[in-house]
């Protein structure tokens, strides 16, 4: 059994991105530039955005943080998005979600120029991914496929069962895993799937992305399977200073001995999702995608 080290893989990718940034700058081009729009003061969003800005600094990107109070008028936000769409000095930007109730998130996502949508949330990027065109792919599916590739995990003809059909994880991952470069046979399972436990036990690659701590138990995993755990639920803990710990969707201790590869929580998929934004921003800066 091999533990997939997402933290170390993310560190390596950041190093690669950093080296590429330096070569871009050396040739006289400007630094890749990412902006983050943060509305309000939600604790989780503040933390995520702070990490994104820090990550940019670590790879040599320029970054900008644009803040609005949570009573910002929808039109004010759209005016800013318009300005960012047209800014030639900016390669990509994200609008941190969730947004306050009076702002329509889907309309915000669709107002971002797809060529600057480094979150990969715009329907144009989702659609391009579906038909195999160059696109920005959302962070978690990118991170999972990158881990599978870098660990040289055999995917050709394998049965990949994805539990969870969210727009940002399960569904886009199912598209990537069935593409010709991966060639897995994919089943997307969800809360209404019949005989879910038996189905999971048929998986060569099992991806748990349902947000239910400890859902996947040993009897649901085939001997030698690859298990990817996307769950990151905060559960109370007496063993940490914060009083919480992160718990995955997989009961790691009992499942790990049956696996060929498994991602831990924390330190598996999580660190890779942060790197995805950097990778997409570099792609945007290189103008690798023609719309
Ligand atoms: N909120 C939680 N995760 C994300 C993300 O990946 N992008 C944005 N924009 N908001 C988020």
Residue 52 is a catalytic residue: yes
Percentage with pLDDT > 70 across the chain: 100
Domain segments of the chain as ranges: 28-113, 139-269
* Ligand 1 neighbour 96 (Cβ under 6 A): yes
Q: Is the CB of 117 under 6 A from ligand 1?
A: no
Give me the catalytic one of 14, 55, 91, 96: 96
Q: Do domains 28-113 and 139-269 have the same CATH topology?
A: yes
Banded model confidence at residue 245, pLDDT cuts 50, 70, 90:
very high
Residue pLDDT, tens place only, 79-133: 999 999 999 999 999 999 999 999 999 999 999 999 999 999 999 999 999 999 9
Question: Would you state the pLDDT for residue 291?
Answer: 81
pLDDT of 290 reads 80
SS (H, E, C) 215-252: CECHHHCCCCEEEEECCCEEEECCCCCCCEEEECCECH
* Dist. CA 119 → ligand 1 center (Å): 7
Tokens of 21: 């940034």
Q: Taking the model in full, what pTM does it have? A: 0.95
Token reading at 282: 């570099």
User: What's the chain's average pLDDT?
Assistant: 97
The confidence score (pLDDT) of residue 289 equals 78
Q: Which of 14, 52, 222, 283 is an active site residue?
A: 52
Instruction: Please identify, by atom number, the ligand 1 atom nearest to the C-alpha of residue 94.
Output: 9
pLDDT of residue 156: 98
Count Cβ atoms below 10 Å from residue 42 Cβ, excluding itself. 17
What lies within 8 Å, CB to CB, of 155 at 6+ separation is 148, 177, 182, 183, 184, 205
The residues facing 261 across adjacent strands are: 2, 226
Token look-up 């023609």 returns 290
Cα(196) to ligand 1 centroid in Å equals: 29
Q: Looking at the predicted structure, is the pLDDT value of residue 287 above 90?
A: no
- Distance between Cα 153 and ligand 1 center (Å): 28
CATH code of the region 28-113: 3.40.50.10860
Encode pLDDT of 12-44 as tens digits: 999 999 999 999 999 999 999 999 999 999 999
Is any atom of ligand 1 closer than 6 Å to the C-beta of 95? Answer: yes
- The CATH code belonging to domain 139-269 is 3.40.50.720
**Residues 13, 72: contact at Cβ < 8 Å?**
no
């Amino acid at each position: 059994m091999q533990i997939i080290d997402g933290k170390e893989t993310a560190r390596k990718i950041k190093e690669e991105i950093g080296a590429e940034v330096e070569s871009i700058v050396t040739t006289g081009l400007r630094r890749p530039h990412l902006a983050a729009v943060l509305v309000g003061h939600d604790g989780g969003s503040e933390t995520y955005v702070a990490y994104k800005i820090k990550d940019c600094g670590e790879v040599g990107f320029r970054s900008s943080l644009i803040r609005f109070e949570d009573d910002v008028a929808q039109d004010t936000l759209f005016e800013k998005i318009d300005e960012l769409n047209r800014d030639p000095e900016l390669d990509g930007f994200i609008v941190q979600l969730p947004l306050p109730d009076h702002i329509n998130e889907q309309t915000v996502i669709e107002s971002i120029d797809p060529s600057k949508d480094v979150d990969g949330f715009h329907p144009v990027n989702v659609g391009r991914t579906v038909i195999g065109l160059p696109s920005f792919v959302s962070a978690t599916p990118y991170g999972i496929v990158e881990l599978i590739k870098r660990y040289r995990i055999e995917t050709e003809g394998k049965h990949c069962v994805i539990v969870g059909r969210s727009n940002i994880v399960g569904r886009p991952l199912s598209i990537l895993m069935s593409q010709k470069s991966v060639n897995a046979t994919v089943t997307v399972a969800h809360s209404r799937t019949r005989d879910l436990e038996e189905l999971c036990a048929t998986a060569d690659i099992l991806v748990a992305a349902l947000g239910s701590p400890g859902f996947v138990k040993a009897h649901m995993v085939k001997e030698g399977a690859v298990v990817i755990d996307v769950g990151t639920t905060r559960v109370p803990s007496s063993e940490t200073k914060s009083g919480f710990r992160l718990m995955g969707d997989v009961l790691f201790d009992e499942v790990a001995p049956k696996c060929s590869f498994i991602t831990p929580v924390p330190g598996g998929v999580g660190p890779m999702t942060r790197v995805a934004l950097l990778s997409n921003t570099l792609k945007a800066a290189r103008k690798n995608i023609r719309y």
